[in-house]
């Protein structure tokens, strides 16, 4: 397993000291790991995997699934069909970045950037300009997830329009401090377009999620998360150790994206009017 870790470091031009500095994991963990005396526990493996943008399974040598650090697509690097799929999705991502600008499509990076800027936004010791910039970065993270959930469709609205839609979203605007909200509204305005309780813009008119769709998805998520956190089917764990709250929250967000995308795909697939002109 250490060989995989060492290769990932070499590919990224990193050293164990970089991991220590960014994750807080003691350097002795890596030296003992290298000597074969011990290996990091599950919590540390999750931190290391997140920093390197790979899955814990891949880092542990139990899977050949790898996550593209740019487009965020996970694929099996030993599977020809998977490699081809990644290339196709990566081309979509490249086209989307040319139109929309920077997109944080790696879910781990997206969550890290969002969390960091949420802390900056809420830090009243910083200047207004610094907090304003942090809120825009949060919007950039949410915008990236929306573009990703739309399969990198070039029909997605531009960033400025997306911000205006989020400012008009009653369920989200309460998260923004009043001084920032007023300034943002003055610059971007307010527009409809994103459903209450959602952060996703849907580009196809025949693929809009209804209130019932969102309620059904929310119920499914709540049911799955309840079973996960209540340990109804046994503890949610890896290598015998319970998943951390951070990992559970990240799973919930990824689950929401997957269920919304699946609902949209099914609405497109089973739309009786899709071939009518």
- E strands within the chain? 65-67, 74-76, 237-238, 241-242
List pLDDT tens digits, range 164-214: 999 999 889 899 999 999 999 999 999 998 888 888 887 654 455 666 677
Q: How far apart are CA 184 and CA 177, in angstroms?
A: 11
Which residue is associated with the tokens 């000597």?
35
Q: What is the pLDDT of residue 59?
A: 79
List pLDDT tens digits, range 92-113: 999 999 999 999 988 778 888 9
List pLDDT tens digits, range 216-274: 788 888 888 777 776 655 556 655 566 677 777 777 777 887 787 777 666 655 544 44
Six token digits for residue 64: 């050949």
Which of 133, 137, 93, 130 is closest to 114 using CA atoms? 137
List pLDDT tens digits, range 32-67: 888 888 888 888 888 888 888 777 777 777 667 777
Q: What is the pLDDT of residue 271?
A: 45
SS (H, E, C) the chain: CHHHHHHHHHHHCCCHHHHHHHHCCCHHHHHHHHHCCCCCCHHHHHHHHHHHCCCHHHHCCCCCEEECCCCCCEEECCCHHHHHHHHHHHHHHHHHHHHHCCCCCCHHHHHHHHHHHHHHHCCCCCCHHHHHHHHHHHHHHHHHHHHHHCCCCCCCCCHHHHHHHHHCCHHHHCCCCHHHHHHHHHHHCCCCCCCCCCCCCCCCHHHCCCHHHHHHHHHHHHHHHHHHHCCECECCEECCEECCHHHHHHHHHHHHHHHHHHHHHHHHHCCCCCCCC
The conformation of residue 104, written as its DSSP 8-state character, comes to -
Q: What is the pLDDT of residue 274?
A: 40
């Amino acid at each position: 397993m250490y060989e995989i870790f060492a290769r990932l470091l070499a590919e990224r031009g990193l050293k164990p000291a970089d991991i220590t500095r960014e994750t807080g994991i003691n350097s002795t963990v890596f030296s003992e790991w290298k000597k074969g005396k011990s290996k990091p526990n599950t919590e540390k493996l999750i931190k290391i995997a997140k920093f390197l943008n790979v899955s814990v399974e891949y880092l542990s040598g139990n899977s050949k699934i790898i996550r593209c650090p740019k487009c965020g697509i996970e694929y099996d690097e030993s599977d020809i069909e998977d490699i081809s799929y990644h290339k196709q999705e990566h081309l979509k991502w490249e086209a989307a970045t040319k139109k929309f600008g920077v997109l944080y499509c790696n879910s781990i990076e997206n969550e890290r950037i969002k969390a960091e800027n949420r802390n900056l936004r809420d830090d009243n010791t910083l200047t207004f300009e610094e907090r304003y910039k942090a809120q825009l970065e949060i919007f950039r993270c949410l915008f990236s997830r929306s573009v990703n959930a739309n399969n990198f469709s070039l029909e997605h609205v531009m960033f400025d329009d997306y911000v205006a839609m989020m400012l008009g979203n009653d369920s989200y605007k309460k998260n923004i401090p009043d001084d920032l909200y007023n300034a943002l509204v003055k610059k971007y305005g307010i527009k409809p377009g994103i459903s209450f309780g959602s952060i996703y813009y849907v580009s196809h008119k025949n693929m809009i999620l209804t209130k019932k769709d969102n309620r059904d998805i929310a119920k499914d998520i709540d049911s799955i998360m309840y079973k996960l956190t209540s340990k109804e089917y046994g503890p949610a764990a890896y290598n015998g150790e319970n998943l951390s709250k951070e990992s559970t929250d990240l799973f919930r967000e990824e689950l929401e994206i997957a269920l919304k995308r699946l609902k949209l795909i099914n609405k497109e697939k089973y739309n009786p009017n899709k071939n009518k002109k």
